[in-house]
Structure 1
Amino acid sequence: MVDEKDALSKNWKFDGKNVALYAIKGRRSQMEDRYVIKTNIMNTGISLFAIFDGHGGEFAAEYATTHLMKNLTNKIIEVKKLLDEKTDATEELKIFNSNTPDNLTPKMKTKIIKIEEHTPTKMKPISSADDSVISLNKHKQDPLNLKKDITTLKNVDDEIINPSSYLQKDGNINFSKILIDEVLAADKLLIEAAKLTYDIAGSTALIVLVEGTTLFVANVGDSRGVMCDKKGNAIPLSFDHKPQQMREKKRIAEAGGFISFNGVWRVAGVLATSRALGDYPLKEKQFVIANPDVLTFDLSHHDPQFIILASDGLWDTFTNEEAIECIKKHIDDSFYGAQYLTIQSFNRGSLDNITVLVIKFPPIWSKESQVVDHGGSKY
C-alpha cells in the first residue's frame, strides 16, 4: 500500500521566470522521470525544455538528461556561432565590395583575406553525440563482472556531420534536423552502453526548442505537450506513439513483431509505447524505434498564453482540454499551477510518476539564462 504522504513529499520543483515545474514520485517505488530547463542558452536567444519518462529503471532517462541534452546544447551553440560568423562575414564583404581596391586601407585588405579564408568546409567537422560513453558508465557496476574496456567502443555515429549542413539557404538554422540527428545519435550510444551492463531500461523524450517566435517540438513516446492559444484552445504540440496506431502497428509487423492487448496495447506484450530511447532488446529487432516526430509552430500566429509539457502520469488522468482549463484557473498560483495540476492528477488515481512543466508567455526569460535539470535519484 502506498503511503500518500511519502508519495507527495518526494518531489522536485522549480519556480523560475515564466517557467515552473513540479514532479512527484507518486505511487511508484522510484522516480524515473527526468527534466531539463535551459533558457537563453549562452545568450543565443535559444531555449530548451525537456521531459524524459523512464521505464524499466532510471538508466535511459538519466542518460538522456545528461548526455543527449549536453550534446544537443553544444551542437546548437556550434551551429549558431557558425551562422553568426557567416552573417558577419557577408556584411563585411558587402562593405568591402563597395570600395575600389585603391581606396582600401591595409587593415581592410587584411580583413578581406581573413574573410575569404573563412569557409564552412575549413571548419573542423563535429559528429553527433560526441559525448563520451565512458562518463556514463564509470560509476556503473557490471552485473557479470565483464572486463570489457568501454574505451574500445567505436563511435557508432560513423557519419561525420559538418555543422554547415544545418544552415539553410534562407539564412536560418534547420533545428528540426539537429533535433532528429542528436536524438538518434544519442540513442545509438545509449544502446551500446546498455548492452555492456545488460540494462534494458528505456525512456520517452519530449524536447521543446524555442527561438524567437518559432517553436520546435521533438517527440519520442508518450510524454506530451499542449499549448493554450490566445483564445484558450488546447493545441496539441505532440502526438503519442502507441502500438495500436495504424502506422506503428504496420511498422512493427513488417519488422516481424506483434502487439497484444492486456488492459493496454503493448509491443511484443511488453512496452506500452512504440517508440523510445533505449529498450535495446526490442530496439535490435526494430520493434521499437527512437525516430522522433518534429512539429514546428509559429508563435506569432498562435499567440500562446502558456504551454504544458508532462509525462504520461498526468495524461493517464487528464485530457489535453482538462489540463489546459486547470492551468488557466491556477496560472497565478505558485509554480504557475503546475503543483496544483500534479496533485490533482495524483488524487484522480494516477499510478505513475507525474512531472508537469509550465511555460508562461510572453517569455521574459528570453534575455536571461536559467539552467536546471534533474538527472539523479535524490529529491
Structure 2
Amino acid sequence: SRGVSPVLAASLIHAAVDEVLQADLTEFKQQSVETEGEGDEERFTLLDGESLQRCFFNKLRDVCFEWQKQLPPLRPLKRFLLVSIHAIRNTRRKMEDRHVLLPEFNQLFGLSDDIDRAYFAVFDGHGGVDAANYSATHLHVNVGLHEEIVKNPAEALKCSFQKTDEMFLFKAKREKLRSGTTGVSALIVGNKLHIAWLGDSQVMLVQQGKAVTLMEPHKPEREDERARIETLGGCVTYMDCWRVNGTLAVSRAIGKINHQNWYSSD
C-alpha cells in the first residue's frame, strides 16, 4: 500500500475479497486429510493457499482498474489515532511477538454504520512463531465477520478468540506444530473500549497520567485458575515462578496442543 492512503487500501482489499468470495472456489479445495480429531473435515474446508492468493491479486488488480475509471465514495475516518510500536526480542533466538494495527477496521470489513471502529492486538508467542503469526492473521478477521460485531462487540471478541484457537489447533494437528501464544485485543467502538485477552498479555489505560487497571492476567497462581487446572487433571507447581505442569507460566493461551487439556481459550 506504499503511496496509497490506508482508507483506500482497506477499501480496495475489502472489494477484492468480496469478489473472491462471490466466485466459485471449488477449484481451490484440497483433498481431506485424516487428523486425530473427529469431524474436523466437516468443520473446516481446506483451500490451496498459493492458488487462492493468485486469485485474490487478480481480483485486486481488476478492482483497481475499475476504480481508476470511477472511484466510489470512500468513508473517511472521523478521528486520527496516533499509534506507536516498540518490540524487544530480548535473549530469544527469534522474535516471537506479533502486533496488529487496524484503524481502518470498518473499511476493511465493509461496516457501513455511523460508528467508527479501530482494532489493535499484541500476541506474545512461545515455543515458536506459528501460533502468534496465525492469530495475528486470523483473529481480527473472525471479529470482523462475527454476526454480533455491530450489536455485541464484546461477544464477538470473546467468540473470535475461541474460534481462532480451534482453527489453529486443527492446523497444529495437521502440521505437527507445538507453539502457542498469549494475546490481547482492543476494539474501539465509538467512544467505548472493548478488550479481550488470553494469558498474561495486558492492556494499560493511562488517564491523566495515572494507570487504570482494566484486566487481570491469566496466571497459574490465581486461585480460580489453579482450581480450574487441577479440576481438569493438571497441576500447578513453583519452579522459579508458578507454572502449569511445571512448564508454562501462563494458564490460558491459543495453541500449545500438548497442553490443550489444561489450557483454555474462554
- After TM superposition, the score normalised by the length of structure 1 is 0.46
Is the 2:99–2:121 contact (alpha carbons within 8 Å) kept by the matching residues of 1? yes
Displacement of 1:238 after TM fit?
2.2
Q: 1:272 aligns with which of 220, 228, 249?
A: 249
Q: List runs of 5+ in structure 1 lacking aligned partners.
A: 1-15, 76-162, 292-379
**Secondary structure of the structure 2 residue equivalent to 1:65:** helix
Pick the aligned partner of 1:69 from 111, 123, 140: 140
What does 1:1-379 correspond to in 2, within 5 Å?
17-43=81-107, 45-75=116-146, 163=147, 166=148, 173-230=151-208, 232-283=209-260, 285=261, 287-291=262-266
Out of 239-248 and 37-46, give the one that drifted further: 37-46
Residue ranges of structure 2 left out of the alignment (5+ in a row) = 1-79
Q: Which residue of 2 aligns with 1:133?
A: none
Q: Deviations over 1:180-220 (max 9, x none)?
A: 11110111111111011221100011000001110001010
**TM superposition shift of 1:71:** 2.4
Cα pair distance change 1:17/1:229, threshold 3 Å: closer
Partners of 2:106 and 2:221 in 1: how far apart?
42
Q: Residue 23 and residue 226 in structure 1: after superposition, are their counterparts in 2 closer, same or farther (change >3 A)?
A: same
Residue 303 (structure 1) aligns with:
none
Q: Deviation at 1:17? A: 4.7
Aligned length: 180
Q: Is the 8 A contact 2:81 2:103 kept in 1?
A: no
The corresponding residue for 1:110 is none
CA contact (8 A) 2:142 2:163 kept: no
Amino acid at match of 2:132: A
CA drift at 1:70: 2.3
Aligned to 2:12: none
Q: Give the partner amino acid of 2:244.
A: V
AA partner of residue 204 (structure 1): T
RMSD of aligned C-alpha atoms? Answer: 1.6
In 2: Cα distance, 1:274 partner to 1:42 partner: 33
Return the alpha-carbon distance in structure 2 between the equivalents of residues 174 and 70 of structure 1. 16
SS in 1 for 2:212: strand
Provide the rounded CA distance (Å) in 1 between the counterparts of 2:226 and 2:158: 22
Q: Which amino acid in structure 2 is aligned with residue 269 of structure 1?
A: G
**Alignment partners' CA distance in 1, 2:185 and 2:152:** 15
Deviations 1:268-288 (A, max 9, x none): 1111100000011111x2x11
When residues 200 and 175 of structure 1 are mapped into structure 2, their CA distance, relative to the original with a 3 A threshold, is same
Distance in 1 between the 2:134 and 2:162 partners? 13
The percent identity for this pair of structures is 33
- What's the secondary structure of 1:204's corresponding residue? strand
Give the distance between the partners of 2:203 and 2:195, measured in 1 at CA.
8
1:237 is displaced (CA, Å) by 2.3
Higher-Rg member (1/2): 1
Query: Which position in structure 2 is the counterpart of 1:88?
Result: none
SS of equivalent residue, structure 1 residue 27: coil
Measured after TM superposition, the shift of residue 72 of structure 1 is: 1.9
Alpha carbons 2:106, 2:118 under 8 Å: kept:
no
Task: Report the Cα distance in structure 2 between the residues aligned to 1:28 and 1:69, rounded to whole angstroms.
Answer: 27
